[in-house]
Amino acid sequence: MIFISQVSRIAGLFGAVLMALTGAMLTFEVVARYFFIKPTIWAAELSQLCLIWGCLLSMAWLLSQRRHITVNAVTSLLPKTAQKACVALALLCIIVFSGIVTIWGWDIFYDSFSRGRTTGSLLNLPTWVAELSVPLGFGLLTLQAVADLIALPRDATHTLGASHE
Amino acid sequence: MTIILILAGLFFLLLLGVPVAFALGGIGLAMLLIGGFSPLMAPQAILSTLDGFILLAVPLFLLMSNVLLKGGVGRDLFAAVQAWVGHWPGGLAVATILSCGLFAAISGSSVATAATIGTVAIPEMISRGYDKRFVYGLLAAGGTLGILIPPSIPMIVYGFVTEQSVIALFLAGIGPGLLLVSFFVIFSVLYAKLSGKFVPVEKAQMEERLVASWRALPSLVLAIIVIAGLYSGAFTPTEAAAVGFAAALFITIFWLRTLTWESFWEAVKESAITTTAILLIVAGAKVFGKAIALYRIPQDISAFIAANNDGPLIFILLVSVVLLLMGLVFEALSMILIMTPVLLPAAMGLGFDPIWFGIYMVIMVECALITPPVGLNLYVIQAVARTTLANVARGVWPFLLLMLGTVGVLYAFPDLALYIPFKW
């Protein structure tokens, strides 16, 4: 259990670094284009790749930190045991959804990988480079949700999330 | 019938506490499977959402405002504005609103705005004898300016899902944003004059004003660069956000010298958490949107509205009531993502401009941010001021009326939003 949370944490922090890197790449692009009239062919594409990987790698970490956006208005009115039951049901929903997305996401990745499909853009990267993030990210999320479900009877969780913007 | 079942299923999952992203994605996936459509569409929709270049602006604007936040820019802005207008009747309240408006121009989030300005303004105003409820309401409402005055994360998301220009949306937010700021300012001055519940601040010396302004200057310049760059077409919103992030680092590291490694790393982590939370909801909504489109639900709803056409005014009134009710329980982004695909086709059929409708939606979700029991800005102010939710909620209602008044003006004069992007 702790091992999975550790993996999620490292994946999430790596995802955070990827997102910050997009800032560096795109600033470089703007400077290169306006001051040196030399637009890059890689900045836009690589930063999009960073965003995809960054988000999907961070999902499991957000779950373990209880930072996914959740509507708590109704469950917070329930007694503590009922709140726990709701959390268990919510975790089951996440497991089913992310499990299915992992399997189908893997199919998409494997199909592109075995056919050697490429993006057809300037960099012409293999499409599986982006597509692999779906089975990996959702697979990790599934594992994290299973681990949270197993740990649930012994911890103090009464909601899966927080409210953001 | 199908519509009711789908919405009931979705609301059940949401109220059960399933994170919004997975509730939307899960219902969408279930609809695809039941309808015999390829479930491959779910991972494809998720990938195609995150692949959107425009959505890169979300983490970058968040990084920009989080770095400025950690660099203590909120304090500097408030001090500068206070030095100029603090001696007016209700001057601290006016300074608070103006600081919220200025901070909104460098931040796309209402929570960040309420928290940043609230931390400095609340203790200051209460020590000067302002009524506490007024102060809490002012800050909760002032914070919502964060998503109306560009940049704005909800506008980026609205532009992405409706395939409208984010630049046009940003520019369209300026007019209503300034109107709302002036409503808040006028109300604050009148309130202070009539209640007399405040101790005036002595007029600041010119030197003091200049020193305070000098520290706030870089943030103002940054806001102007971002807006002017977008307006002139020099940057895309994503590039403006990237340049803004780089400039925010420059300002906080070299000019103000307030950013440490630890606080930078905090800003990176916080931005990543918020970005992932937001973009996953957008991805879940995309799966949901695909599914309801395959079931032809938006078409059915617009056909229903067209058949029972009572004119645009009745439509907007009804939609406003629905959004206000939803806003009691839902937070901003989920409302935009659930309701826009359902409502926009009907609204456009009635002759509403999609950019106008986006601004209208943003003001309506601003109301959702300050209506109890679930209003994000209420929680923020409650936490910052260490008071009860009920106290904050009681102070909010005059500001809620002013916001609805702005919607009324926007309905009567659509150019309030549409003039700057399209006619200037």
Residue of B nearest to A59 (CA): B276
The structure tokens 């999009």 sit at A48
- Minimal CA–CA distance to B31: which of B280, B282, B289? B289
- Minimal CA–CA distance to B59: which of B209, B294, B282? B282
Residues of chain B with pLDDT below 70 are: none
Phi, psi of A126 (to 5 degrees): -65, 140
3-state secondary structure B162-196: HCCCHHHHHHHHHHHHHHHHHHHHHHHHHHHHHHC
- Minimal CA–CA distance to B366: which of B322, B392, B337, B335? B335
End-to-end CA distance of chain A: 30
Residues of chain A with pLDDT below 50 are: 164-165
**Which candidate in A13, A21, A25, A26 is best for mutational testing of the B interface (most B CBs within 10 A)?**
A26
Average pLDDT for chain B: 90
Amino acid at A125: L
- Minimal CA–CA distance to B280: which of B106, B58, B38, B30? B58
Q: Do A93 and B154 touch (CB under 8 A)?
A: no
The predicted pLDDT at position A164 comes to 43
Task: Give the minimum alpha-carbon distance from B25 to chain A in angstroms, rounded to a whole number.
Answer: 8
- Minimal CA–CA distance to B111: which of B276, B327, B333, B268? B333
Tokens for B376, please give them.
């994000």
CA distance B31 to B36: 8
As to burial, measured by CB atoms within 10 angstroms (0-12 exposed, 13-18 middle, 19+ buried), residue A115 is exposed
- Minimal CA–CA distance to B111: which of B247, B271, B244? B271
A71, A147 Cβ separation under 8 angstroms: no
End-to-end CA distance of chain B: 46
Task: Give the minimum alpha-carbon distance from B338 to chain A in angstroms, rounded to a whole number.
Answer: 14
Q: Do B18 and A93 touch (CB under 8 A)?
A: yes
Task: Give the minimum alpha-carbon distance from B170 to chain A in angstroms, rounded to a whole number.
Answer: 17
pTM: 0.91
Q: Do B275 and A19 touch (CB under 8 A)?
A: yes
B contacts of A160 (beta carbons < 8 Å): 17-19
Residues B275-291: tens digit of each pLDDT: 999 999 999 998 998 88
Give the bridge partners for A118, in sequence order.
A126
Give the bridge partners for A126, in sequence order.
A118
- Cα-Cα-Cα-Cα dihedral sign, residues B213, B215, B216, B220: positive
Residues A15-63: tens digit of each pLDDT: 999 999 998 899 898 888 888 888 888 888 999 999 999 999 999 999 9
CA distance B227 to B174: 10
Q: Do A52 and B154 touch (CB under 8 A)?
A: no
Residues B4-36: tens digit of each pLDDT: 888 889 889 988 989 989 999 999 999 999 999
Q: Do A165 and B234 touch (CB under 8 A)?
A: no
Q: State how far the alpha carbon of B282 is from the alpha carbons of A4, B143, B271, in Å.
A: 26, 23, 16
In this prediction, does ipTM exceed 0.90?
yes
CA distance B120 to B85: 16
The predicted pLDDT at position A64 comes to 92
Q: State how far the alpha carbon of B246 is from the alpha carbons of A26, A161, B74, B368, in Å.
A: 10, 31, 18, 33
| 3-class DSSP assignment, residue A126 | strand
A contacts of B17 (beta carbons < 8 Å): 70-72, 74-75, 83, 86-87, 90, 159-161
CA distance B14 to B9: 9
Tokens for A40, please give them.
């890059």
CA distance B126 to B112: 21
The structure tokens 């958490």 sit at B273
B81, B95 Cβ separation under 8 angstroms: yes
A contacts of B279 (beta carbons < 8 Å): 51, 55
B147-165 burial: b if 16+ Cβ within 10 Å, else e: bbbbbbbbbbbbbbbbebb
Task: Give the minimum alpha-carbon distance from B344 to chain A in angstroms, rounded to a whole number.
Answer: 22
CA distance A150 to B32: 30
A contacts of B55 (beta carbons < 8 Å): 51
B25, B41 Cβ separation under 8 angstroms: no
Amino acid at B103: F
